[in-house]
Structure 1
Amino acid sequence: MNKITTYFRESYKELLEKVTWPTWPQLQSSTIIVLVATLLITLLVWIMDFVSSSILHFVYSLFGK
């Protein structure tokens, strides 16, 4: 039980003294970067899906009725 208590005590101390938390402007900037990157990747995946779907529909139409 002593090891668990020590672990939590040291973890709390590390959070307060050793971790550097971002400032509000840094946090906002990072959030915007993540949102833009997520939107770009989503758009890229959607385009790839649309193109591959179109190609497959074309290929299937060649061999189907």
Structure 2
Amino acid sequence: MFNYFKEAYNELVNKVTWPTFQQLQSSTVVVMVASVIFAVVVLAMDLSFENLMGAIYKTLGSLGR
């Protein structure tokens, strides 16, 4: 078990290439923009579905009278 942690630490320190601060900022901006776009798409779908279901319920409600 000790050998496993020793090798894991060695790999993290010597073999992993960590991003620079500029690369990290760039990736963060990409993730934020993608998240906003995804949220807007989900909002549009939600509002569309709400309006569609409202129209269906209104139509079916008037047929029953």
Same fold (TM over 0.5): yes
Number of aligned residue pairs: 62
Q: What root-mean-square deviation, in Å, do the aligned CA atoms of Structure 1 and Structure 2 show?
A: 0.8
- State the identity as a percent: 42
1:41 is aligned to 38
* 4+ aligned runs moved over 6 Å, structure 1: none
Q: Which runs of 5+ in 2 are unaligned?
A: none
> Once the two structures are superposed, what CA deviation does each residue of 1:19-51 show, in whole Å capped at 9, x if it has no partner?
000000000000000000000001001100100
Using the size of structure 2 for normalisation, the TM-score is 0.92
CA distance in 2, matches of 1:63, 1:46: 26
Q: Does 1:23 align with 2:30?
A: no
Q: Which runs of 5+ in 1 are unaligned?
A: none
